Amino acid sequence: MGYEGTFSKMSKNEYKELKRKLVDIGIYPSLDGFDYILSAVTRMRGEGKLRFIELYKKIAVTHDTTESRVERAIRHAIFTAWRKDGLDEKYKVSEFLSLLAEDLL
């Protein structure tokens, strides 16, 4: 899925930067969670604070899948990156997504 400008307050350059950051931390486009993380962060930036169950539901509808698959794929992508770098769980998934959305990571 491409740039999510329909609901995002991110510019195309910010979107490209987010994709680069994900790759830099070890979350690659080959992981199912990559597109879901992009969707989550752009929605969080565009729609403000959402409960994560609402966020997963919106992403699932957009990607024609289920909420549990979205959550599981995001978690898998994040944990895969951490394991690759030999890190223990650094943040909860919600904290990780929030940091990306706030551009603090």
Q: Are the C-beta atoms of residues 47 and 39 closer than 8 Å to each other? A: no
Q: Which residues of the chain have pLDDT under 70?
A: 1-9, 48-49, 85-91, 104-105
Whether 6 maps to a domain, the answer reads no
| Domain residue limits at 85 | 12-102
Q: What is the pLDDT of residue 104?
A: 46
Tell me the whole-structure pTM to 2 decimals.
0.81
Q: What is the pLDDT of residue 37?
A: 94
Q: What is the pLDDT of residue 1?
A: 44
The C-alpha angle with vertex 1 and arms to 28 and 63, in degrees rounded to 5, equals: 100
Q: What is the pLDDT of residue 68?
A: 95
Q: What is the pLDDT of residue 31?
A: 94
Whether 4 maps to a domain, the answer reads no
Q: Are the C-beta atoms of residues 2 and 8 closer than 8 Å to each other? A: no
CATH number assigned to the domain comprising residue 31: 1.10.10.10
* Number of domains, the chain: 1
Residue 96 tokens, joined = 């990780």
Whether 1 maps to a domain, the answer reads no
Q: What is the pLDDT of residue 62?
A: 93
Whether 3 maps to a domain, the answer reads no
**Shortest CA distance to 46 belongs to which of 88, 1, 5?**
5
Q: What is the pLDDT of residue 19?
A: 93
Tens-place pLDDT, residues 31-54:
999 999 999 988 887 776 678 889
Whether 31 maps to a domain, the answer reads yes
